[in-house]
Structure 1
Amino acid sequence: MPIPFLLLILLLILLFSLPLSAAPVSFTRDVQPILTAKCVACHACYDAPCQLNLGSGAGLARGASKVPVYNGTRTQAEATTRLFVDAQTEQGWRTRGFHSVLEGGDAALVARMLALGRAHAPLPGSKLPEDLDIGIRRDNQCPTPGEFDDFAARQPSAGMPFAVSGLSDGEYALLQRWLAEGAPLDGEPVVANPSEAAQIEAWEALLNRRGAREQLVARWLYEHLFLAHLYFDKGASGHFFELVRSRTPTGEAVDVIATRRPNDDPGTRFFYRLRPVQGVIVHKTHITYALNPRKLARVEGLFFAGDWTTDAVPGYGPHRRANPFETFAAIPAEARYRFMLDDAEYFVRTFIRGPVCRGQIATEVIRDHFWTLFQDPAHDLYLLDAEYREQVTPLLALPGQEDDLARLPLVWRTYRAKRNGYEAARREAYSHTPYPSWSHIWAGNDNALLTIFRQHDSASVRKGLIGAVPQTLWWMDFPLLERTYYALVVNFDVFGNVSHQAQTRLYFDLIRNGAEQNFLRLMPAAQRQAILGDWYQYSGRLKLWLDYEGIDRTTPSGLTLPAENAKAVFAARLLERYGTLNARPDPLNRCGDGRCYRAKASPALQRVDQRLSRLAARPLAELAAIEFLPEATLLRVELDGGGREVYSLLRNRAHSNVAFLLGESLRYQPDKDTLTLYPEVLSSYPNFLFSLREGEVAAFVAALEQARSAGEFERIVQRWGVRRSDPRFWSLFHDLSAHIREREPVEAGVLDMNRYQNL
């Protein structure tokens, strides 16, 4: 064999015998998976500590900021700091006040935070010290590299990952090596595949048609879909897209126009474009919406089949933002409402679930558990009566367009008067229409019945009617649904000042009251005041007198309901009449025949359901352990035959009323708290996790039923709980996301652990 060939063989042997560690560390291949597994659960969205978003290389390059996004007391609005929007380069973020966390190699801020966390890691399986603040309102110091030594001396337990089971030895060594190599950020952006690209071209063609009518529709569609994670082909590719306004047309690179709100003046000629969502998908901001040929045809049919016309597209400005009913008056109201009803769960998710990520501005004004129904378009006066529509449209204007703190009282009184004037006109107009009956409740598809759960400053929405019959129900028509969407999504500025946020919160209180009043029209006239009094107890009665227009106490309902317990009878008949639309039948919380399990579940799961159902729909008076449970507890059950099931245990806190901006604790009625049990992950923000084997379910239930003290509950936590310090924490925590991926793959994303408690 020739010598040169032997030398080549030896060279190849030597090359492949080198240790793998000699290869440079890849951010995309090696580093991002570690960040996704151990960091993104806290460092994503606007509530990422120090605004350090670790879901992408772009977030790492942006770095950290001392300015918190959530600040309910600021008198001036902050500059926006939206990743992938407000700056495109590292230097751009430096001019906005962000400092590097990667510069310095071994001495980089990230490296030092990881070393601090490793040096002061929590004792495996132990409860964290009581004086360690892990709440979402803790004061994040956000030190710069020059401030780190002083920070570490004052807060030795504040290293990363914070107050949780940390990195493995291999993960830590790999990250340190990557930092020592200069922390290179490789990787290619997500791009559309050929099938997606073809569909994107079709949608962009529709949205960028010329003509005033076409552009007005496109503007309305953009304002209703700008928040969505859009997907094609059932999301099989795992790609999601967002709708933006770009300076460049189809076929060129997207050059996004960064306005503060989606209905602000873009300031230049623009094109509607679809661009891929970059970075790790996190559940709390993952509000999905399907695009497909059928939806494209639906838009054509709804908006362009009629003969309506318009001469010009309205301009922009505060007045146009304040009243979308005037801005888009030329578009048939029925088309707008039916488009929203088709995907009502999406629209309710946008203002209930996020992605502001800390939604107490909205959630303080709603109860912890309620059902939502919609008024049928065939019985919505705003759609049917042009004279009535013209009369009330000026009264539907929304506050929040000016943020002068000194003018807040005057602005609020003006918009409250408009809203109450609208309610009075509405009450009078509907008193002359056919009495509301079952046909007045929309039943177009399985978006018709929705359940909302609130957990203090977060909330979730699901199709179907989950849980026991709630205290309140909402019945929304087009003006209610559209006003809620514009007030809490399109017009809401998470970077706004206290005046803007207060106006938004106060007006949503009026919207909730309007949805409740509309539902009362279905109840017997003689019972309405008593039901309303139950919703507005004690100080709520003062609010009824101060801020709300009176209810209709005389116009009969078209439903035949008993004088006693009318709401419960209505709920039972609703479930019976609309059973085929109920996406989530619930035999666990509404078990009437002793078979408290899912009919289509396996025998093993039916046994687990039956045993756990002893906890379902129980009030605190019957189940004292509710006092010690957080609001969103997840229960993971490993089945003897393999696999597992995950249940949500949601604590529904009771209040005498939810009508005031402040003083929620004064209206809290803990003795009336209840528990909802459902086999699904019903929150983006788990507060705690229990993990047990199938054979332990009966013992777990019995232990909860018998627990009367904090000490007895802590023994349950010690036996079955998964504390933040548990070595199994991350694998079990991410198994919750895996459960979502198995059931609804399009909806899967990394869950948030910022609210995971120290039990």
Structure 2
Amino acid sequence: MLSRVFVVLSLPFMLLMTPVQAVEVSYSRDIQPILTQKCVACHACYDAPCQLNLGSGEGASRGASKLPVYDGGRTQAQATTRLYFDAQGEAAWRRKGFNSVLDAQGGQAALMARMLELGRANPPVPNAKLPADLDISINRQNQCPLPGEFDAYAKKFAHAGMPFAVAGLSDQEYQTLQRWLAQGAPVDEQVLTPSLAEAEQIADWEALLNAPGARETLVGRWLFEHLFLAHLYFEGGEAGHFFQLVRSRTPSGQPIDPIATRRPNEDPGSQFYYRLWPIQGVIVHKTHITYPLSAGKLARVKQLFFAGDWHADKVPGYGAQRRANPFETFAAIPAQARYQFMLDNAEYFVRTFIRGPVCRGQIATDVIRDNFWTLFQDPQHDLYITDAAYREQATPLLAMPGQFDEIGDLFGLWHAYRDKRNDYEALRMDAYAEAPAPSWSHIWSDNDNALLSIFRQFDSASVRKGLVGEIPQTIWWLDFPLLERTYYQLVVNFDVFGNVSHQAQTRLYFDLIRNGAEVNFLRLMPADSRVALLGDWYQNSGKLKMWLDYQSIDDDSPTALQLPVEQPKQAFAEALLQRYGDLNARPDPINRCRAGQCYRPNLVPAQQDAEQALSRLASRPAAGLKVIEQLPEATLLRVELPEGKREVYSLLRNRAHSNVAFMIGEERRYQPGLDTLTVYPGVLSSYPNFMFNLKAAEVPGFVAALEQARDAAAFDKVVERWGIRRSNPQFWHYFHDLAAYIHDTEPVEAGVLDMNRYQNL
């Protein structure tokens, strides 16, 4: 430590230090707040540039790596590098190839100090576009220079200092960080510990999860595999306290020693315990998938899983077959209990696979439409739940690929699992053809998780309770096998560090699951309308995919819903909105304005006028609203209201496609003239692409300007007047106010947003 301080003190800029500046800087008090404000928006989670995670002292000490986590083309799976799990302590991370950004080396200041100095020397021009040759896309090639490579990096990338391509640090922030680095960058991270009320509930949950007995062990394993990704929080717990469920070598009451397996359903060894571990560091929205725990929830779990008379003779082992088919692995647990547990918090499970680690990058998300609604099949009308003979036939056919990643076997594995899935679909179609025709009672509607809206923003996606936006082109109707397979394929079994074969198998099979959810919805439509609806979803090359890979649909069996053959989906959606209005998260008159009053009730007049104007942008095709061609996927509008208040609206671009049935070639299936916008109050993306700030009285003028902007030059004028560019001196104030808005409106969901996708408009 002394030698590091001596080396840094020899730098010229340190010669001007005053006695006040020499005061020891505290990491937890002084440094982490600066990193949270100016760095975490890019440097968090797996997609942090150079894997430099600055959300905690552990991440800052770990440093950086040249090896990216997200690499869709690697031929070999790479070693996992999960913070807190795969290594503990600076020395262990050095052995894994991470390089310090805090240590002074070779007579030079720390890499972080030099990066900050480079950013300071080349700030962006206030309120101007960034240089056109500065690549800020998430697919850019990060350089990740080592200390000895920095001089060459600085010459070649003069505008790539830190913070990267954005309004920089204040004078005080810069000086504080440089003083801390000069002092040797000591880290005094404060560890989050449970409150007394939380500790009592933790003890109750750990007792349940670690209870002895074969069926108790089996239930504990199933619950772990379904909650390992959650940010758990307790009723009556402390604000900002979240926990994750882990497997530990140590029992309750002792410090947690986590067992780091590649997947949560791999063998943890002979002796382990389920533990609830406090989540350390800054909460970031993109990974913040919350799940509530309480005494009532604990009682619900006991009632679901242990009230019935069922037995488990033994606990299954671990292995590829167990991972491939959880329906076999957990067959002893009543299917009703498993499905109902997932339905109770259906939004959580859908968020895990829509917002989880698989959904980073366009090739992962182009398997879904840009906007659609999701419904669930009622357990009492799910044959996998109610018909034991059918369940026994179906279970072996529900295995999923991705357990073996030899590239040479990719197509053989894919065809084998595709054929199994299609055999299952044929079995399912025949079974449901003999079952009572589906009616409204077949659609689950027990709580406000029953209706969900999903939006894709090109290379990310989001979920919202309720039916948001105009009636979409497609609707999913998930039953237990569809929901559970989606969760296992995209969450439990997905390896973000895996190779191209594993990732391709995951993507290809999910295409079949999506098709299954769409085809299941068709059972609600009049039989004579199904072929036409399916043809609309799978246009052009989609017809080839239907012939190659999909099972044929049932276009004979009736539905009990009284729907017209002409536009039945429209009629169904209208009836759904009316029948289940109490389950809808909140009304959506902006996008579904039916009587000329296109704003929510009980708003102040200024906000009513603003929403009335914004409704002119909603649900219009790009062929008539040309500005859509200029807008990114997720634009945030910050509207300043009277008396110092503000409202935030998400302006989401819904890209239209002839079909979403192929891994590549999305641009050839794109139908830009059919793009639309969804306008909705709230922050509906973890990754804002751009932001406008305007007063409520300006909204009609803003909307009129967008309506008249028919080319890039006209749109640039809108940006110049109301846009918040990365170079705006107040950028961070406005950007973090989006997270503050979430904290004000949905405090449990609050977290730092990601700016890696913020565009240079």
Q: Secondary structure at the match of 2:642?
A: coil
Partner residue, 2:214: 212
**Aligned letter for 1:42?**
C
Per the alignment, residue 338 of structure 1 pairs with 340
- Alignment pair present for 1:178 and 2:177: no
Verify the 8 A CA contact 2:22 2:179 in the aligned structure 1. Answer: no
Q: Please list, as runs of the form range in 1=range in 2, the aligned pairs for 1:60-99 lying within 5 A after superposition.
A: 60-99=60-99
Shift of residue 728, structure 1, vs aligned partner: 1.0
Match of 1:512 in 2: 514
Q: In the TM superposition, what are the counterparts of 1:301-316 in structure 2 within 5 Å? A: 301-316=303-318
* Structure 1 alignment gaps of length 5 or more: 1-17
Alpha-carbon distance in structure 1 between the residues aligned to 2:498 and 2:341 = 30
C-alpha displacement at 1:563, in angstroms? Answer: 1.3
Q: Read off the aligned partner of 1:100 and give its amino acid letter.
A: S
Within the alignment, does 1:102 sit opposite 2:96 as a pair?
A: no
CA offset digits 1:85-121 (Å, max 9, x no partner)? 0001111101111011110187100000101111111
Q: Displacement of 1:137 after TM fit?
A: 0.6
When structure 1 is superposed on structure 2, of 489-498 and 150-159 the one drifting more is: 150-159
Assess if the C-alpha contact under 8 Å between 2:607 and 2:696 holds in 1. no
2:138 to 115, 136, 139: 136
- For residues 227 and 313 of structure 2, the distance between their equivalents in structure 1, rounded to whole angstroms, comes to 25
1:603 is displaced (CA, Å) by 2.9
Q: In structure 1, how many angstroms separate the alpha carbons of the residues matched to 2:617 and 2:196?
A: 50
For the pair 1:34 / 2:34, whether they are aligned, the reply is yes
1:234 and 1:344 mapped to 2: Cα distance? 23
TM normalised by structure 2 equals: 0.97
Amino acid across the alignment from 2:98: F
- State the 1:604 CA deviation: 2.7
Among 686, 703, 708, the residue aligned to 1:706:
708
- 1:21 Cα deviation (Å)? 3.9
Alignment map for 1:605-684 (pairs within 5 Å):
605-684=607-686
Partners of 1:178 and 1:357 in 2: CA distance: 37
Match of 1:11 in 2: none
Following the alignment from structure 2 to structure 1, what is the Cα–Cα distance between the partners of residues 580 and 361?
A: 31
Q: Which runs of 5+ in 2 are unaligned?
A: 1-17
* Matching residue within 132, 146, 149 for 2:148: 146
- 2:644 is paired with a residue whose SS is coil
> Conserved in 1, the CA contact under 8 Å of 2:21 and 2:179?
no
The residue aligned with 1:378 is: 380
Give the whole-Å Cα distance in 2 for the aligned partners of 1:452 and 1:706.
Answer: 30
- Which residue of 110, 125, 130 corresponds with 1:123? 125
Question: AA paired with 1:395?
Answer: L
The CA deviation at 1:355 is: 3.9
Query: 1:596 and 1:200 mapped to 2: Cα distance?
Result: 47
Moved more, 159-168 or 355-364: 355-364
**Superposition pairs of residues 535-614 of structure 1, within 5 angstroms:** 535-614=537-616
1: CA distance, partners of 2:242 / 2:704: 44
Task: State the match for 1:421 in structure 2.
Answer: 423
- Residue 671 of structure 1: how far off its partner (Å): 0.4
Tell me which residue corresponds to 2:274: 272
What residue is the counterpart of 1:56 in the other structure?
Answer: 56
User: What are the equivalent positions in structure 2 for 1:523-534 lying under 5 Å apart?
Assistant: 523-534=525-536
* Aligned counterparts of 1:347 and 1:600: Cα–Cα separation in 2: 33
Alpha-carbon distance in structure 2 between the residues aligned to 1:238 and 1:405: 44
In structure 2, the residue matched to 1:192 is 194
Distance 1:496 1:443 in 2: 38
Report the alpha carbon displacement of residue 599 of structure 1 after superposing the two structures with TM: 1.1
Determine what percentage of the aligned residue pairs are the same residue: 71
CA distance in 1, matches of 2:377, 2:183: 61
How is 1:451-470 mapped onto 2 (pairs within 5 angstroms)? 451-470=453-472
The answer (yes or no) to whether the contact 1:588–1:596 under 8 Å persists in 2 is yes
Q: In the alignment, which of 439, 443, 446 is matched to residue 445 of structure 2?
A: 443
Change (3 A) 1:424 1:576: same
Match of 2:240, as an amino acid? G
Q: Distance in 2 between matches of 1:732 and 1:357?
A: 26
Please name the residue that 2:329 is paired with.
327
Alpha-carbon distance in 2 for matches of 1:707, 1:730: 28
Contact 2:195 2:237 in 1 (8 A): no
Helix, strand or coil for the counterpart of 1:107? Answer: coil
Single out whichever of 20-29 and 697-706 deviates more from structure 2.
20-29
Contact 1:125/1:725, CA 8 A, preserved across alignment: yes
Structure 2 partner of 1:164: 166
Q: Which runs of 4+ in 1 moved over 6 A?
A: none
Cα distance in 2, alignment partners of residues 234 and 485 from structure 1: 29
Quick one: distance in 1 between partners of 2:585 and 2:752? 24
CA contact (8 A) 1:361 1:501 kept: no
Give the conservation status (yes or no) of the 8 Å contact 1:46–1:357.
no
User: Contact 1:120 / 1:159 at 8 angstroms: preserved in 2?
Assistant: yes
What is the distance in 1 between the residues matched to 2:19 and 2:446? Answer: 62
Cα shift at 1:357: 6.2
Match of 1:485 in 2: 487
Could you tell me whether the CA contact under 8 Å between 2:622 and 2:673 is conserved in 1?
Answer: yes
Number of residues of Structure 1 aligned to a counterpart in Structure 2: 742
More displaced, 352-361 or 700-709? 352-361
Distance (Å, rounded) in 1 between the aligned partners of 2:259 and 2:568: 52
In structure 2, give the amino acid aligned to 1:50: C
Equivalence for 2:250: 248
Match for 2:294 among 283, 287, 292? 292
- The answer to whether the Cα contact below 8 Å between 2:438 and 2:560 also exists between their aligned partners in 1 is yes
Question: How far is the alpha carbon of 1:29 from its aligned partner?
Answer: 0.6
Going from structure 1 to structure 2, the CA distance change for 1:396 and 1:424 (only over 3 Å counts) comes to same
Shift in Å, 1:617: 1.5
Which secondary structure state, in structure 2, belongs to the residue aligned with residue 691 of structure 1?
Answer: strand
Structure 1 residue 20: Cα displacement: 5.3
Query: Could you tell me whether the CA contact under 8 Å between 1:397 and 1:415 is conserved in 2?
Result: yes
Displacement after TM superposition at 1:19 (Å): 7.0
- Secondary structure of the residue aligned to 1:474 is strand
Deviations 1:669-719 (A, max 9, x none): 000000000011000000000001122111101100111111000000000
Q: Supply the distance in 2 between the matched residues of 1:686 and 1:269 (Cα, whole angstroms).
A: 44
Deviation at 1:364, TM superposition (A): 1.3
Matched with 1:742 is 744
Q: Distance in 1 between matches of 2:379 and 2:364?
A: 26
Whichever residue aligns with residue 695 of structure 2, its letter is: R
Task: Sort the Cα spacing of 1:470 and 1:344 in 2 relative to 1 into closer, same or farther, 3 A.
Answer: same
Seen in structure 2, the aligned counterparts of structure 1 residues 408 and 357 have a Cα distance that, compared at 3 Å, is closer
Once the two structures are overlaid, the 10-residue window that deviates more, 595-604 or 284-293, is 595-604
Q: Which residue type is aligned with residue 633 of structure 2?
A: E
- The equivalent residue for 2:14 is none
Structure 1 residue 235: deviation in Å? Answer: 5.3
CA contact (8 A) 1:234 1:290 kept: no
1:526: Cα distance to partner? Answer: 0.4
Matches within 5 A, 1:383-402: 383-402=385-404
After alignment, is 607-616 or 504-513 more displaced? 607-616
Distance 1:198 1:607 in 2: 50
RMSD: 1.1
Distance 2:358 2:655 in 1: 23
Q: How far off is 1:151 after superposition? A: 1.2
Cα distance in 1 for partners of 2:702, 2:66 equals 44
1:5 maps to: none
Which deviations, in whole Å up to 9, do the C-alpha atoms of 1:204-223 show, x marking residues without a partner? Answer: 00000000000000000000
Q: Which has the larger displacement, 299-308 or 359-368?
A: 359-368
Contact 2:363 2:664 in 1 (8 A): no
- 1:642 is displaced (CA, Å) by 1.7
Q: Which moved more, 1:282-291 or 1:556-565?
A: 556-565
Give the deviation of 1:358 after TM superposition.
1.4
Aligned with 2:722 (options 720, 723, 729)? 720
Paired residues of 1:247 and 1:268 also in contact (CA < 8 A): no
1:602-630 per-position Cα deviation (integer Å, ceiling 9, x unaligned): 33322221121111222112211111000
- Distance (whole Å) between structure 1 residues aligned to residue 73 and residue 609 of structure 2: 51
Correspondence for 2:235 = 233
